[in-house]
Chain A
Amino acid sequence: MGNVLTIAGRELKAYFLSPLAWIIIALFAFFTGFIFVQIIARTLVADLSPLFQWIAVLALILTPALTMRLFSEEYKLGTIELLLTAPARDWQIVLGKFIAAWLGFAVLLIPTLWQVVILQRYGSPDYGILGASYLGILLVGAAFVGVGMFASALTQNQFIAYTIGMILLLFLWVSDAPATAAGQSGMVGDFFRYLALPGHFEDFFGGVIDTQHLLYFGSLAVLAVVLTTLVVQSRRWR
């Protein structure tokens, strides 16, 4: 565990030292604030669930930017050689980076707490739903960060890492579309319908915590860590 924390610690420090992180945080805060005002002005209801839908969309666009440097930069700088020859296992390096990026994602959400304060001031929000929504968006974040990290492990070019991450996430988001449009049933159709992200996070934003969805996001995150470890390991065999 020591190695994981060492890696995560350095990663977090590097993250907050880079201007990119602050740009992402600022963009995220601006857009969530903007959408919040639009929604509240129109509905006048102390309900953040429409906002969380939009947070998920923002996360889709911004998380790959958060994760693109995780491995790409190590490859580019040659520092990967330092990590892979240190007495740490490959999965510890990957897990450390994952945790750091996930914490980074959580930081993005901090400005949205201000909106909860506003709702509390002028209305009576349902804290059960809010809690479930934050849990949901954190789980979405875990999956997104995992996928983004995996993309980063594939290339030393951060822009390509961003693009691959984005494409993978988009695919997950809309994977049910062809099956639904074609009215396809059966194993394949069901599988792609199951894979689609929105069906799994929407329940959280409605205040429902379903183990099936917990399992979905948990599996995605674990799978991403495992696949990333394999990709990193494969460098040893090339």
Chain B
Amino acid sequence: MSAEPNGETKQLDGDDAIEVVNLSKFYGERQVLRDLNFSVKRGEILGFLGPNGAGKTTTMRILTGYMPPSSGTARVAGFDVIKQSLEVRARIGYLPETVPLYLDMTVADYLSFVARLHHVKNIDAAIDRAMELVNIADRADTLLGKLSKGYKQRVGIAQAIVHEPDVLILDEPTIGLDPRQIIEVRDLIRALGKEHTILLSTHILPEVSQTCTRVLIIRDGEIVAEDTPQHLGAQFSGSEHVYLQVANVAPEIPKELEKIQGVLTVRAQETEGVFEIETTLNHDRRTDIAAMAVQRGWGVLELRPVRLSLEDVFLQLTMQEQEIENVQDMNEAMQNG
């Protein structure tokens, strides 16, 4: 099916396990992916973050060979997803958003079917290993239809890893789980990240900061931000913020603080003695602030950097301004009410 002989392109260009170049997808007239470009390095856990309908699932379906892109290319483990689809599919473990379970099969039967489909040599050993990893060995003979949501999700992950793929693609792996199950699945993903390259999608923010090494925020089929979860906060505020609380409140404090080089604004907060100080990016002014506070005898109670939470960044990037105001209004209303 491919013009290129298998194996020829197997060696990887660099360390990229996934490489996406100018990927676009139309559903009829509607464009759901616009010129997507990104790569995932070997061993990385990349979080794909975006509101529902942003194009996360579409991207994943293209990478797994479920559907072709309208234009652009993508390579997984060095193979082209269009021209070498079977090679790609053999190297990917995929958990679709709807866990694909045959409800009338037992866990072991099901995993053995998936292993067979992936031409696994030692099937018994492979399914034992997979069941052990996701901690479902005790349910091997249970019918899938009788499992709880959490167990179903684990079986879904087990089927994705049973053939020990290079790359794991997980579409909303924690959706519909209760908090305890979510923590379990996240721990599992982190553990799997030691051996696999993982691309996971989610629209839940804490998920990304807790499991991923890098985040990619997608909106309306476009990547709007890409960084580590920690960096995104600073990067998108355009400045850094410092929280200062002092014991001895004096009216001249804001004015004095603004004299420090690099300090942009100082705002007194509602709580007495609390100030939020905005400084230029990449200049930590905390030592200067502390020195001044000590010198003037303000009595520092607390001094710490404030980062925009990932949630703020996400809202900024994925919503129109009006929507952000609405959300802020809502938050305020909730706090006040």
Cα A84 to Cα B102 in complex, Å, equals: 15
For A87, the chain B residues whose CB sits under 8 A away are 86-87, 89-90, 117-119
Question: What are 23 A-B residue pairs whose CB atoms fall within 8 Å in the complex?
Answer: A2-B116, A10-B102, A10-B105, A14-B104, A77-B102, A78-B96, A78-B98, A78-B99, A79-B100, A81-B66, A81-B94, A81-B96, A82-B96, A83-B117, A85-B64, A85-B65, A86-B89, A86-B114, A86-B118, A87-B86, A88-B86, A236-B66, A236-B68
Contact B96 A89 (CB under 8 A): no
Among A13, A81, A85, residue most surrounded by chain B Cβ atoms (within 10 Å): A85
Contact A6 B116 (CB under 8 A): yes
Q: Mark A210-238, 1 if CB is under 8 A from B, else 0.
A: 00000000000000000000000001111
Q: A17-B104, A79-B102, A82-B96 are in contact. Are A89 and B86 (CB under 8 A)?
A: yes
Cα A98 to Cα B101 in complex, Å, equals: 21
Contact B118 A14 (CB under 8 A): no
Cα A89 to Cα B1 in complex, Å, equals: 10
Cα A151 to Cα B113 in complex, Å, equals: 25
B103 within 8 A of A: yes
Q: A78-B99, A236-B67 are in contact. Are A85 and B27 (CB under 8 A)?
A: no
Query: In angstroms, how far is the closest chain B Cβ from the Cβ of A22?
Result: 14
A175 within 8 A of B: no
Contact A79 B101 (CB under 8 A): yes
Query: In angstroms, how far is the closest chain A Cβ from the Cβ of B333?
Result: 39
B189 within 8 A of A: no
Q: A85-B65, A236-B67 are in contact. Are A14 and B96 (CB under 8 A)?
A: no
B159 within 8 A of A: yes
Query: Which of A7, A10, A85, A89 lies in contact with B94, CB distance below 8 A?
Result: A85
Cα A80 to Cα B92 in complex, Å, equals: 16
Closest A residue by C-beta to B28: A238
Q: A81-B96, A236-B68 are in contact. Are A86 and B117 (CB under 8 A)?
A: yes
For A10, the chain B residues whose CB sits under 8 A away are 102, 105, 113
Q: A85-B92, A85-B94, A87-B89 are in contact. Are A6 and B102 (CB under 8 A)?
A: no
Cα A87 to Cα B119 in complex, Å, equals: 9
Closest A residue by C-beta to B89: A87
Q: Mark B108-148, 1 if CB is under 8 A from A, else 0.
A: 01000110111100000000000000000000000000000
Q: A236-B67, A236-B68, A237-B67 are in contact. Are A88 and B100 (CB under 8 A)?
A: no
Query: Which of A2, A3, A77, A237 lies in contact with B100, CB distance below 8 A?
Result: A77
A18 within 8 A of B: yes
Cα A7 to Cα B116 in complex, Å, equals: 9
Contact A77 B117 (CB under 8 A): no
